[in-house]
Amino acid sequence: MARVVLQGVSRFFSDEAAAVRQIDLEVRDREFLVLVGPSGCGKSTTLRMIAGLEEPDEGEIYIGDRAVSGVPPKDRDVAMVFQNYALYPHMNVYQNMAFGLQLRYGSGLLRRLFWRLVRPAWAAELSRRQEMIDRRVRETAKSLGLDGLLERMPADLSGGERQRVALGRAIVREPAVFLFDEPLSNLDAKLRVEMRREIKQLHRRLQTTMVYVTHDQVEAMTLGERVAVMQDGQLQQVATPLELYRRPLNRFVAGFLGSPPMNFVEGELIETDGSFVFRSEGFTTPVDRMVVERVKPYAGRRLTLGVRPEHLRLVRPLVPTQEGVCPANVDAVEPLGDAVVVHLSVGAESRQAGAKVGLIAKGPADVPVRIGEPCGIAIESRDVHFFDPQSGKNVSLPGSV
């Protein structure tokens, strides 16, 4: 068991930009932490530095209590599972799973016979190790449903089976830390869901520290006990999935997690007679009184409103004078089966071409909306976030100003 700590870790591949910049991160002992972010944000480089496949240019990495700079991958007590499985094509499933242990503890039959003649006690130890390898491989294969496939070659396995062998090969080594680099990307959607469940169960069973890299927000949210969101080589926020979803620290995190993504609307904070409203070109909405204190400094200035599609309520039929309801026009409807996604243009002018504010709403599947129809949209002020237009910081969170 081990925690993993990154302190001020950076990696530069060229003089211009850092692939990873000043990362401070603690993965707790036995934790399942997911590193997520768009392509090229530095997730794999971070994982590879923990594995020892890359060395940091700055900072230090600790596994357990040991600083591991300069320690080769094989001595770091980590096991890595890759997207492309990296199985040995000329070895069967059993041999693939046993290979790492054979290198470390194993010995061939001839060598054991030799030691039996020269040093019987050592020969007995070698036999014991050989049995341990065999037992571990067979037990692990059984737990992964691979026990009937031990003689098969990788070419004769399905993608899901290959990924299970790759997992099995990591498990038999009983490492202190598992590192996963997009291990499910090559699988179809159904198999991905199945393997996600298996990896989660595996974590519960083994109680080992796991660091998992993905660009898929659903994978991140469903697997991670905590999720670390990266952008341009930097950590943006590390928190539980729900915390990230409900209290994103900045516009990037808010927009990255959630599907369809959060709506962002540029506007101005207006104060009249002590009460505050947010006014955009499409609509005006009151500011929740819990948030007013935090956003007050923006009175008379630009501000970005963020609201998730599921927090926009479609109101039909539209009654033009209804309080708190903005007129909108339905531009597109995407039925998902269990829900419906509706693209809207919002504002008094919304029925005319060129209306400025487009919003996406997500509602129950049975909401009867049709393209071209006018309707209303209600925004719950307590579900709204406000972001500084320059820094992107979420200024509506407690303690944000």
Best CA proximity match to 24, nearest among 209, 214, 235: 235
What is the distance between the alpha carbons of residues 131 and 160, in angstroms, rounded to a whole number?
A: 28
Residue count, binding to ligand ATP (CB under 6 A): 11
How far out from the chain centre does Cα 111 lie? 47
**Per CB under 6 A, does 220 bind ligand ATP?**
no
Report the residue number, 215 or 294, with the smaller CB distance to ligand ATP. Answer: 215
Q: How far is the CB of 228 from ligand ATP (least distance, A)?
A: 12
Q: Which is nearer to ligand ATP, 47 or 157 (CB)?
A: 47
- What whole-number distance in Å separates Cα of residue 11 and Cα of residue 18? 6
**Residue 44 near ligand ATP by CB under 6 A:** yes
* Residue placing its CB nearer to ligand ATP in the complex, 42 or 282: 42
Contact between 18 and ligand ATP by CB under 6 A: the answer reads: no
Which two structure tokens, joined as six digits, stand for 1? 């068991």
The reply on whether position 37 binds ligand ATP by CB under 6 A is: yes
Q: Please say whether the beta carbons of 13 and 19 come within 8 A.
A: yes
Give me the least distance between CB of 43 and ligand ATP, in Å please.
4
- Angstrom CA distances, 184 to 209, 332, 342, 391, 401, stand at 19, 33, 31, 34, 41
Helices 189-206, 159-172: crossing angle, 10 deg rounding: 20
**Among the listed residues 2, 4, 19, 144, the single contact to ligand ATP using CB under 6 A:** 19
The reply to whether 78 sits near ligand ATP by the rule CB under 6 A is no
Contacts of residue 257, defined as CB under 8 A and 6 or more positions apart, other chains included, come to 217, 220, 221, 229, 244, 245, 248
User: Counting contacts by CB under 6 A, is residue 55 touching ligand ATP?
Assistant: no
Minimum CB distance to ligand ATP smaller for 43 or for 169 = 43
Distance in angstroms (rounded) separating the CA atoms of residues 121 and 257: 59
Among the residue ranges 36-44, 314-322, 332-340, 368-376, the one whose residues contact ligand ATP (CB under 6 A): 36-44
- The answer to the question of residue 45 lying near ligand ATP (CB under 6 A) is yes
**40 belongs to the binding site for ligand ATP (CB under 6 A):** yes
* Site residues for ligand ATP per CB under 6 A: 13, 19, 37, 39-45, 215
